[in-house]
Amino acid sequence: MASSGFITTPDGIRLSYTQTGPVSAPNLVFIAGWVQTASIFHKQVSHFSSSYRVTTYDHRGHGNSDKPNFGYRVYRLAADLESLLTQLDIQDAVLVGHSMGSSVLWAHWDIYSHERVKKLVFIDEARTITMNPNWTPEQTAEAGAVMPPQAKFDLLEPLRGPHWKEAWTAFSRGFFSDDINPEELKFALDESMKSPPSVAAAMMNDHASIDWEDIFPRITAPTLVIGAKASRFPVESIQWIAKQIPNSRLEIFEKEEGGSHFMFFENPEKFNRILDEFLSS
């Protein structure tokens, strides 16, 4: 049984959501990353909706949700997630965040009650994106920091300019494998461009500036951490996060098996199998 609609946040923003699968089944919620929409998880929805009540939604400024000119901070998106869980009365949920979606989960864990959370899954997100110039190479790799401070602004300015599509495409292409199916790449890029460039820039500005180091030792839910050897984020950073979280499990995709930042999209068979095992463990 599938249903779609909108919830309205306390600040008046409508968020588009879809729920698929038996109403009485266990809850599985997918949270997309920077400028991605709920549709990026369609290979997971089709697989898991026979046994789970699968919820997907679009962040504010993304996909089919409202696109106001405010609220593009990770903690605001965490508040939006809390509104979704509360208004749809989602209990005992496994929350799966990809990329910035993981950061949304970290912010949510930081400031909200954990009573609705059963398990957590973090897909290929480092603890921070912007590096500290004083760090050693080893510290930088463990942090996952892939941007020197100036690089963030070098990315944001083109996104706000007249050639934003070219800048967007060049930056986003590096998140996928070299040999990805061109039609699938086009689908992902087209979905991401449902966000206005002003939203993309504002969201990246906040997202890239936060260091989540203190969150991980405080996570008490069973957790699956997934990384990939062909991702922009160093595998060391994903391994570091898994070591900080009590009761966590680590999975790393090889480059040859679609092990990009979007491994769940490029190799759904392996990803869905790993998630199935974690859900039933």
The whole-model pTM stands at: 0.97
Rg of the chain over CA atoms, in angstroms? 17
Q: What is the pLDDT of residues 132-177, one digit of tens each?
A: 999 999 999 999 999 998 988 888 888 888 889 998 899 999 999 9
Residue 1 pLDDT class (50, 70, 90 cuts): confident
- Structural domains for the chain: 3-280 (3.40.50.1820)
HEC-encoded secondary structure of 188-205: HHHHHCCCCHHHHHHHHH
Tokens at 12, concatenated: 């008046």
CA gap 206, 175 in Å, rounded: 19
pLDDT at 222 over 90: yes
**242-262 residues labelled b (16+ CB within 10 A) or e (exposed):** bebbeebbbbbbeeebbbbbb
